[in-house]
Amino acid sequence: MKKTKIIIYTLVGGLLFYTINSIILNKSQASNQTENSEVISKQNNVNFELPNFENAAAKAIKSVVHIKSKFLQNSIYRYYDPFFGNRYFKQPKEEVASGSGVIISSDGYIITNKHVINKATEIEVVLNDKRTYNAKILGTDPNSDLALLKVEANNLDFLDFANSDNIKIGQWVLAVGNPFNLSSTVTAGIISAKSRKINILNDGGIEAFIQTDAAINAGNSGGALVNTDGQLIGINTAIQSNTGSFTGYGFAIPSNMAQKIVSDLKKYGEVKRAYIGIHISDINNDIKEYFSLNGLNGVLVSKVLSNSAAEKAGIKDLDVIIAINDITVNSVSELHEIIVQFSPGDEIKCKIKRGKKTIDLSFNLQE
């Protein structure tokens, strides 16, 4: 009898211990799961939080205009002459080209692409609020495909220039313009590359484009590429496509380059360009081996021009420029993008490699 009671008590005690232990364990697991869920939730909020484009878009569309350029183009007409048969004659016909522009001051200065207003006899600017103005051409620069216009107006919304030297690959951007006459269109994407050369300008043209996958199409030319703060980082200029429509590759002129050029056009009616006085080339494996260079970084000085700023500063043929004003240079287009921001007479710091030596030079640019 006593043995039976002992067995029963033992079984009951074990059952109670198992039940209490299970309850405590379940509570602990539930607590851990809650904590883990909170951590995952917090991580998800950080990793998947998207930028808000609303403020940038609202600001940009007020400052991007629709440009309509009227120009005359000869059209060929045919008529039948009873004595001589079919005859042809030319008759001027007014055509209208469409593009975009960016207001850069409250008193009506507008930047656009030169190709948007080519051969224009009259330029009409349409604001986002549908107000229209006739615009005057203050100057154009074929080497960068930029133009500066002016309308007689005050208290206009405008975009501030951002420092395009500070942009990063992968950074979110908005493209704003009037593709296919669809006014005030905003598209989003990222910066895909910097200092891109795509060979669309004539000899002497300066190409150091920002590449983006934000949709750009016909009519976007001259429009704005802005950051998420609504600041201007580029002027949309071109696309690369086999179809003539956007396929993921759009290109914009960096804001630092645009700001210098329009400043000159406003002040002088032309661009005052500064030069180092050298011929340069990109460095690849073939050039590295041929000239026995110590690496692939920088750009090669293939020739120093006589009596140039470079010659006076002591730069020599086969030197390698690796930095300008502490900004690393690894391609011809990167160097052009930096130098185009300066005026004749400005002083720059140039870091070069000559063999195994690194040399720092300071000198003034020439016109």
- Active site residues per annotation: 115, 145, 221
Sign of the Cα torsion 190, 192, 197, 199 reads negative
Q: What is the DSSP letter of 329?
A: -
Tokens of 286: 């073939």
CB atoms within 10 A of CB 312: 13
Angle at 251 between CA 178 and CA 212, to 5 degrees: 90
Query: Which of 247, 191, 239 has its CA nearest to residue 218?
Result: 239
**Maximum Cα–Cα distance for the chain, whole Å?**
141
Residue 195 CA to residue 324 CA, distance in Å, equals 15
Classify the phi-psi angles of 334: left when phi > 0, otherwise alpha if psi is within -120 to 50, otherwise beta. Answer: alpha
Cα 76 from Cα 304, distance rounded (Å):
52
Contact 159, 226 (CB under 8 A): yes
Residue type, 63: S
Q: Is 29 helix (H, G, I), strand (E, B) or coil?
A: helix
CA dist 312 and 146 (Å) reads 32
Query: Per the structure block, which two tokens stand in for 207?
Result: 């190409």
As a whole number of angstroms, the distance between CA 97 and CA 47 comes to 44
Q: Which of 156, 179, 200 is nearest to 63 (CA)?
A: 156
- Edge-first strand listing for the sheet containing 122-126: 132-134, 122-126, 64-81, 85-103, 109-113, 146-150, 136-141
